[in-house]
Structure formats: C-alpha cells, structure tokens
Amino acid sequence: MKSKLSIKNVWKSYGSVTALKETSLEVPEGEFLTLLGPSGSGKTTLLMALAGLILPDGGEIWIDGALATYAPSHERDIGMVFQNYALFPHLTIYENIAFPLRMRRMREAEIDRKVRNILEIVRLPHVAQRFPSELSGGQQQRIALARCTVYQPSIVLMDEPLGALDKKLRDQMQIEIKTLHNELKTTILYVTHDQEEAMSMSDRICLMNDGRIQQLGTPNDLYFTPNSIFTALFLGGANMLPVARKGRENGFDVYEGPGGGPIHVSPAERTPQPAAGDLSIMVRPEHIRLLANDEPAENSAQVRIRDSVMVGPVTRYFAELADGTDVTFTQLTVSPTRSASPGEVVRIGWAAARSVVLEGRSNGHD
C-alpha cells in the first residue's frame, strides 16, 4: 500500500531535554494509527511536528509524497482535533465548521451543503446556530470532529480527543470515530495514553516511551508478543517471573523459574530469544488456568491463594509461589462452587506458547 505519511529521523529537543529522539515511521493510506504512551513519551511532540505546530530540529516529514517538514500548517492538508477541541468561541457552530471550507474559498452553496451534511453525520443538525459554549462536552467533541473532517483532509490528527469525557460518552465516541473512519476512509493518527482505547480502535499501535518508539504493530502483536517489559506492562496485566536459561528439551526452551522448577517456552513464538543477562517470562493472567490434581500441562506450578475478587464474568486470583513470587490469574466465573478460596494451595498451568521471554527484571506486576 502507498505510504500516506512518512517520517524519517525526526527529532526535537527543548534545551537540554530531548523530547523526541530520532524517529521514523510509515503510515499507509487509510490506516488508523495510534500513538500510545505515558505522558512525556514524545507522542504529542511527534503529532505537533506532523501538524506543523512545532518545527523539528531535524529529519523529514513527507505527506502524500511531498516533503512537508517545514511547510506551514495550513498548507499540509491535515485536520486536527485538539484535546480541548479548540472551537472558536466567537463563531457559531455553523461558522466553525464552515471555517476550513471558507479558507479553501469554496462557493457558498457548496459550503452550506457540506456543513449540513457533516452535521447530519455527527447527528447534530439542530445546533448549527448555537455557540460552542452552549454545547455539552460530547457535542463539542463531535463538532470538533465534524470541523476537521468536513474538508476531507488527507490525514486527521487527534490529540487525546476523548480525554475530557466521561467513560460512557467516551465509549460511545470511540465507536463514532471508528465509524467515521470507516465511512470516510481517512488516514487517522490518534494520540492517547489509554491502552484500552488504543487497542479497541487502532489498526496499528505505535507505543512510545522516553522519546522514541518502543514497539510498532497491531494490537495483537503488542498484546501477545511484547518486545519489552515496558510494552508488556503498559498493555495490560502481566505476571513477570524472574528466570534463568537452562537449555532445550523436547522442542521447548527451558528456563529455571522462581521456585527452581522448569518453565517451557515455544521457541517459534519469538526470535531471536534473548540469550544472556537478567531474563523474565511474561504470562498474561488470563492465560493461566486452574488445573485439576493430575491434569497435564506444558507449564505448571503450586500456588497458595491469598485473595480472590469476583468481577462479574471473571474471577481474579491473587496468589504466591512457594518462594513468595506473586502470581495473578483470572478464571471465567463459571459457577459459584468451582473456585479456590484464600489459604488453599492449588495447581496452575499455562501453555508454553503463552510464555514470553523478555530481557530485564521487573519488580512485581501490574
């Protein structure tokens, strides 16, 4: 697929602080790419550089095959939704949406048609003559969205657009943005620090940390095969078991686990396997099962249950290995009887394919 946006070695520093280290990224046409990361990870800096609102210290930005590194914002044909929506307080909703069209010198009839059309799409045709301050947060959000899509820019940039909304509204808006994306086939670059939001909406996620890209891939890639402890922990709960490599056996890589017992890992899952230094094995809580006494498993261990929490469809168990290492796992809440109670010692197990070997150690787990 053709690259809509191509970022080559872009970097930016403020005094002695490097906000964005040299970063390269290709975004194909029509993709929904999320820049995910904690605050200070450089994701907003990258977005601002794409929008032309800050000038990078070096590198190149290509939009639609044209060099745009230092092109002024208004010549980039981008749309941007700001965190606080940035609706013009002195213009009506109609005029706010018409603004980019007027800047493009469209005919009045055309403007009118497009504005009414987009207001229909965001389901707010009745607010045209109101002012932004007369709208609720969710409505303002939809208008901001309408304003930046009405002129069909080749790329839409969104900077934490749902940050100020409550959970219910946020879920609803996520679906609306997704729908809009599907309908308009626009390329979207979306900035958020919310991993659930990122996973539910994106074609690909670009996880950023400390001014650079930590991992780039589909939500599945990042979730199931993180390349670092940071990624593993950022995208959801994970057990981190400190291990040491022992060798190979029956087609599995074998590691020595916290209690001394072996942990088997499918070698095909990740190449190259880290060979030396401190290593950890990551297992997602939902990949661990409670085992019956003699049930075979590729990996198994004895744990003592410390506590359990039933959260509707799943029950979350907090347990520890013999040496005290914490382990968290979840089970579907099948029936009230089939559950372990605090103090009980149980056997747990998981598939070798679900063990991911990562470099480094982590204290505890999320």
Partner 1 sequence: MTDSALARPAATRTATTGRKRDRMRGWALVPSVGFLLVVFLVPVSQLLWLSVVNAGGEFDFVHYERLFSSTLYVDVLSNTLKIALWTTIACLVAGYPVAYLLASVPPSSRSGLLIWVMVPFWTSFLVRSFAWMLLLGRDGVINQWLAALGVVEQPLKLMYNFVGVMVGMSHAMLPIAVLTMLSVMQSINPNLPKAASTLGAGTSHAFWRVYFPLSLPGVAAAGLLVFITSVGFFITPTLLGSPREMMIAQLIIIQIEEMLNWGFAGAISVMLLAAAFVIFYLFDRVLGMSALTGGATHGKTAAKKGLLGRLGAQAGRYFIACVSWAGWGIARAFAMIRKPRYDRHREQRMTARWVLGIAVIVFLALPSFFVVPLSFSENRFFGWPPRGFSLEWYEAYFNSPIWREATLRSVLVGLCTAALAVLLGTPAALFLSRQEFFAKTALMGFILSPIVLPNIIVAVALFYAYSHVGLIGTNIGLVLGHTVFTLPYVIITVMAVLKNYDHRLDQAAWTLGASRAATFRYITLPLIKTGLITAFLFAFVRSFDELTIALFISGGVATTLPRQMWSEALLNITPTLAAVSTLMLVFVAIVILLAEFIGRRSRRR
In whole angstroms, the minimum distance from the beta carbon of 196 to partner 1 comes to: 26
In whole angstroms, the minimum distance from the beta carbon of 272 to partner 1 comes to: 18
Nearer to partner 1, 53 or 332 (CB): 53
Over its C-alpha atoms, the chain yields an Rg (Å, rounded) of: 25
Nearer to partner 1, 83 or 308 (CB): 83
In whole angstroms, the minimum distance from the beta carbon of 108 to partner 1 comes to: 16
In whole angstroms, the minimum distance from the beta carbon of 286 to partner 1 comes to: 32
Nearer to partner 1, 55 or 309 (CB): 55
Cβ atoms < 10 Å from Cβ of 339: 16
Whether residue 94 contacts residue 115, with contact meaning beta carbons closer than 8 Å, is answered with yes
In whole angstroms, the minimum distance from the beta carbon of 70 to partner 1 comes to: 5
In whole angstroms, the minimum distance from the beta carbon of 186 to partner 1 comes to: 14
Nearer to partner 1, 38 or 58 (CB): 58
Nearer to partner 1, 184 or 254 (CB): 184
Nearer to partner 1, 131 or 318 (CB): 131
Positions that interact with partner 1 (CB under 8 A): 9, 11, 18, 21-24, 51-53, 55-60, 69-70, 72-74, 76-80, 82, 84, 86, 88-90, 99-100, 103-104, 147-148, 151, 157, 212-213
Q: What CA–CA distances, in Å, run from 147 to 5, 55, 100, 202?
A: 22, 24, 8, 22
Nearer to partner 1, 78 or 188 (CB): 78
